[in-house]
Structure 1
Amino acid sequence: MSKLIISVSGLRGIVGETLTPEVACRFVASYSAALPPGPIVVGRDGRTTGPMLAGAIMSALNACGRDVIDAGVAATPTIGVLVRERSAAGAVQISASHNPPPYNGIKLFGSSGRVLDAESGAKIRDGYFEGQAAWCAYDKIGETTADSDPHAAHLDKVLATIDVDLVRGKAFSVLIDSNHGAGGLLGKRLLEVLGCDVEAVGAEPTGLFAHVPEPTAENLTGIASRVADGSCAVGFCQDPDADRLALIDEMGRYIGEEATLALCVTRAMMVGRTGGPIVINGATSSMSAMVAKQHGVETLRSAVGEANVADMMIANEAAYGGEGNGGPIDPDVGYVRDSFVGMAQVLDLMARTGKPLSQLADELPKMAIHKDKAEIDVEELPAIFKRLQEHFHDADAQTGDGLRLQWGDSWLLVRGSNTEPIVRMIAEAETQAKAKSLCDAAAGLLNA
């Protein structure tokens, strides 16, 4: 039986094993007890177990005296916008992101429409373990109301960030692969509003994934062929809850997720979003930082995790941010990774420059990432980090989220997993060989 993964941002597990209706109800009861007064938004991705969990969760929140706004199937960034638009106390998004079909999960939002920060999330996690709940009397039970159009406000906010008429005038032919997750509902609507000729693949949110749900190159070979064969200008590929976006160019070449953020940063700099720093996490490619530097904009790096990026963006009044897993974060829309922001702004970049996606991608700074992992006892990490710092004494060392070593535009991140007894090693350099050599050197020092 797999382990239920509980973190400061929510939980994730296999339905019927570690994630049961009872677990979900107790978890959201702890969440409700920690929130200020007000309704709570509940949404879900397209997974087949979503309706069952949504029913249990909405009933539990009603039993805590909460009114519930039922958003139905909606993307994770849409839920963030809806919290603010409906003046809600928070939101529960039911999704396991890119995990396989047996999984589902719960992601928690605060009243500001962003994923809970670490401190707030830790209190709810601890409350769950302590059995905290605030069940109410029969005459205080809350009510559930379905939202008539949960996507409209998000659509408007995304459109407000671009030159809609310019994009419409290009009449781009595009393919969107939502893989039967939550992204097809707003994704197709957005692209049609932008005047695109849309081929929508997997738009129905059935949860019956047509391919492995994480939008990586090996999982998108069939989609890449369809983009090229269909003479599309771009292929947009979402994960199940649509907070991540991978790109395929007009030749059917997988551009990937790291390039999504770098292209969005390129476009942000082009339109003058230079009044503050950008924020990326410690495992994100330096491509975005190099683009920002060309425009005199500072890049700050947070600990890995969307909540950490959002925290640093808010604290430093960042102009833009995101994570290299295909998740741009535009503060004009919300502090949530957003595939719809990515789609609209990449199309805007193509329209402004008149360049095809392949050329725009080729013009990005060239960097290569290599990833590795090894089994290790977490108690050994301090000694390992000390050995690494002594060996790589010429690097700029940062701690707090594992150990991050920086040499110019090259870097090595070594950090313990939050969910497994392993250490992850991620390196980026000018060539794949150099990136791999950094990981290999780190691996050789693990048990020195």
Structure 2
Amino acid sequence: MAPKFGTSGLRGLVTELTEALVQDYVTAFLATCPHGGALHVGRDLRPSSPQIAGWVMQAARAAGVDVVDCGVVPTPALALSSIAEGHGAVMVTGSHIPADRNGLKFYVPTGEISKQDEQRIGGGLGQAPATATPGTLRETDALSGYRARYVDTYGASALKGLRIGIYQHSSVARDVMVEVVEALGGQAVALARSESFIPVDTEALDPETRQMLAGWCAEHGLDAVISTDGDADRPMVADATGRVVPGDVLGALTARALGADVICTPVSSNTMIAEMPDFTRIDRTRIGSPFVIAAMEAVLAEDAGARVVGYEANGGFLLGFAAEGPAGRLSPLLTRDCLLPILAPLAAAAQAGQSLTELVAGLPPRFTAADRIAGIPTEVSKAFIAEMSVDAAARAAFFAESGAEAALDETDGLRVTFLSGEVVHLRPSGNAPEFRCYAEAGEARTAEALVSTYLAKLQDRLGAA
């Protein structure tokens, strides 16, 4: 399958991300979207990223655009750097997908590109770049500002007394997580650093990883374990037992800790926020940060002072207003971030004299689970969703174990609410040949069982490599 835009930028097999294709996309981006005269370029730790980043920089300089090489850096740190200087950016990353794939994430000077920007880039492909005086090249330390953002906001005692494991694997944030935890007064325990790329999907951790987290907590006496996906725009947080706190729970806790009034989040996120008195408005969107950002921008267009945040079920958090932290003010950042939804709940628990487990237990009792099966072509997944959408009898037969249907939501994929109050949401991945299943129920084990049941049924029905 040729590289294409999904919910997180351009993605494809490394073998298909050729020099010509990469340079064509970068040239089209610079010709059709604002970039402020310079392009910040960052990359993750997968083996193909240095070469692809080199192609990106060559294309930009050939187009007469100055290049700022940010090196190996978290995606939100790259965005923070480029936005601060009023420049565009390209992050070379395949996020959580395997190392045989990679991709490009594009940023205009105000943040992530929109779906309209994607269309403009597509329309600019295949055009020869205009002759120009080559752009300049310089390097910068994009990490220092990102690190300071959270150290200055939370202060030297926010995590005092906490012993926190850092699952480093091949995350680009593996070192800055250690530095920030220690700067905030916590004790960091570095774990499982890898020199080969490990595709960690924080939204669908495998059983072996979950067992590993629990083992580390017991072995090292940890209060929590934290990590991210490959490019560090999604958080992973486990409590003292090694149990992972879902991303949409981290999002709700972070929104509350920051004093947000309005939440923009996809339909797949936990519905417990409707029962929380902290929020006056909740806008539901399709899955993907461009849709969350569009909803946040619409809220801010109505009220520039709105205390609005956004987050996805994977935990990537977007801040739309200047929030007050324990030690300082936190400026808006309209791109998915991993560190804020890691630090805010841990700091809130510490301030309240609670464990993370106790903090989570105080939320309304709604639980989500998610997982995926790989190897199912997108066209097969979409055909199945189309069939289930129009054929109520086929839908009832497929979901027979869950009883009668109470509501159907087709905002993004197929989301079925049953009379029991349980929810099953099926959706083809936007950037890989994967079929995702989300579930929600009144008990965690019920949500997990729903995911297992319906992924098994999908695999039997559609097959998987």
Scaled by the length of structure 2, the TM-score of the pair is: 0.80
Residue aligned with 1:250, SS: coil
Question: Which residue does the alignment assign to 1:338?
Answer: 337
After TM superposition, list the pairs within 5 Å mapping 1:20-169 onto structure 2.
Answer: 20-36=18-34, 37-88=36-87, 90-113=88-111, 115-128=112-125, 131-137=126-132, 140-147=133-140, 149-159=141-151, 161-162=153-154, 164-167=155-158
Which residue identity is paired with 1:369?
A: A
After TM superposition, list the pairs within 5 Å mapping 1:138-287 onto structure 2.
Answer: 140-147=133-140, 149-159=141-151, 161-162=153-154, 164-167=155-158, 170-201=160-191, 206=195, 208-209=196-197, 211-215=198-202, 216-218=205-207, 219-251=209-241, 253-256=242-245, 258=246, 260-270=247-257, 272-274=259-261, 277-287=262-272
Of 401, 425, 433, the match for 2:412: 401
Alignment deviations for residues 218-263 of structure 1 (CA, whole Å, 9 cap, x no partner): 2343343223311121110211101111112223x2224x2x4424
Which residue identity is paired with 1:121?
A: E
Partners of 2:267 and 2:235 in 1: CA distance: 19
Question: Which residue does the alignment assign to 1:436?
Answer: 450
Partners of 2:294 and 2:270 in 1: CA distance: 20
Of 296, 304, 311, the match for 1:322: 311
Cα 1:12–1:214, aligned 2, differ >3 Å: closer, same or farther? same
Contact 2:271–2:366 at 8 Å: present in 1 too? no
1:64 deviates by 0.7
Residue aligned with 1:427, SS: strand
Residue aligned with 2:391, SS: helix
Which residue identity is paired with 2:167?
A: D
1:433 deviates by 4.6
1:356 deviates by 1.2
Question: Which residue does the alignment assign to 2:325?
Answer: none
Partners of 2:389 and 2:212 in 1: CA distance: 42
1:30 deviates by 1.2
Count the aligned residue pairs: 425
1:190 deviates by 1.5
Contact 1:9–1:107 at 8 Å: present in 2 too? yes
Scaled by the length of structure 1, the TM-score of the pair is: 0.83
Unpaired runs of at least 5, structure 1: none
Which residue identity is paired with 1:150?
A: A
1:307 deviates by 1.3
Partners of 2:413 and 2:256 in 1: CA distance: 31
Contact 1:7–1:122 at 8 Å: present in 2 too? no
Cα 1:386–1:242, aligned 2, differ >3 Å: closer, same or farther? same
RMSD: 3.3
1:324 deviates by 1.4
Residue aligned with 1:182, SS: coil
Alignment deviations for residues 26-67 of structure 1 (CA, whole Å, 9 cap, x no partner): 211111111234101100112222221111110111001110
Residue aligned with 2:90, SS: strand
Question: Which residue does the alignment assign to 1:427?
Answer: 439
Unpaired runs of at least 5, structure 2: 301-306, 321-330, 397-402
1:416 deviates by 4.5
Alignment deviations for residues 141-195 of structure 1 (CA, whole Å, 9 cap, x no partner): 1011101x21222233334554x24415x24221112312211232222112212
Cα 1:380–1:369, aligned 2, differ >3 Å: closer, same or farther? closer
Which residue identity is paired with 1:357?
A: L
